[in-house]
Structure 1
Amino acid sequence: MLSTLRSAKAKLGPRLAGLVAACESVKAESEAAKKVAETFEQRYLALDDVEAASLFSDRLDLLVSEHTAMLAETQKLVKANASLSKKNGQLSDQIRDEAEVFDREVRRLGVEAKRTKEAHEAELATVRAEAAEQLAMRQKEVKLLQKRLDTARVENEAGKQREKAAKASHDEAIASANKAQEEARAAARKAQDARHGRETAERDLEACRSERDMMAASYHQVLQSLATYVEPTSIGSDNAI
């Protein structure tokens, strides 16, 4: 609104100046015509010649007519100048009022901007403090996580070593088990061979017993056969022996 009023005043200014200049020019011309008319009137009054008087009378009427027209135009210009001056005054008053309102609004906005800036700076300081606190907490968490990670790496490495040792022990146990199994199989084969040998020995022993029994029976038969040929005393002596 203020810019519109200023633009209107800027447009009316040159026009008002032109009207003022035109009024001044018309006034000057009117004054000059008036002086010329007065001069002609004085000359007309001083002349005795009727023809010259008629000529000057016509000239005077023409000048009076022009003077009257100029006066009418001057009045119009004066009215227009007064109207424009009034409008210019109104616009000036309106511009001044608008400028005062604008200045008050600018001051109010300046105060609000200052308050907003202070509030923003306070909020920004709070946010920065919170961010710094959160950053410190994050750094602590990162350090703790890094420590845990290092511990986990050490434990993982120890676990790998234990896994290698356990695998070596497992492989050794498997090798020992395989060796023991082979030894057990060898012992089983030896036991089986021993069992077979024992069975063979038992069979041989049984055969020897059978053969002994047969030999004992044969021996008794021989003794009985001999007993029939030997005297009883001799037989008794032999039996004693």
Structure 2
Amino acid sequence: MLKCFFFAPLVTAKKIVSGMRVAGIDPGVSNFGIVVCDIADPDPRLRVSQRIAVLRAGNVSLRSSCGCMHDRVPLAHCSLGHTNDLPSRIAHVAQDFELDKCDRVVVERQPPQSAGYVVEQILRMLLGNLTFVEPRQIHKTYGALRGDSYDERKRKCEAYTSAFFAGRSEFDLAVRRHDMADAMAAVVCYAHRSAMRPPTAAPLPRVSFDKSADFEAFIGQFRSDI
């Protein structure tokens, strides 16, 4: 007799972390999915989607100068280098989404030698508040099965995270949603796992967005290879 194993989506839980601002990232060059959330209410009687509030979400292309965002910091007041290369674009996204003000930035780990892995390593150098999670851990969050295809996982992730994005035009009107959905699932995964195993490692030193000299020193590590 065959036994079927099914991972139920994490819709309700007795305990998640609270009182934190957490960002989730699905790193990619063409599609960089990102969400910033407040995890505020620890009441276990509420659904998880009622306990995590999405503050901002986006799907950014890092392949063009559009990645050098100035929505929060006008160009005239921006102290970052404007070299129009990949590290510069990532730093601008981090500045615009105020990732240095987040308690934790959760990144879905990428396979080595992929374009997403390059983005992951630049984020590692730029920010000291990172936590990396394995894709299979995120898949369990929204009930994906081991044998599911990429399209099946994408469909399940979008369906599960849609409650978190309710009423948000950046998700509802997006042509490609699953990058933001993956980033949101990473936040939920972290909220559950860190409640069970609180992180103890001290944060790494990070580059200040207010010091252009620091940024130029950081960029110098990558410029010759880009």
Which interval holds the TM-score relative to the shorter structure? under 0.3
Computing the radius of gyration over CA atoms, which structure comes out larger, 1 or 2?
Answer: 1
Q: In proportion to residue count, which structure has more strand?
A: 2
What is the TM-score of this pair, normalised by structure 2?
0.15
Q: Which structure features the higher share of helix residues?
A: 1
Q: Give me the TM-score of the superposition, normalised by structure 1.
A: 0.14
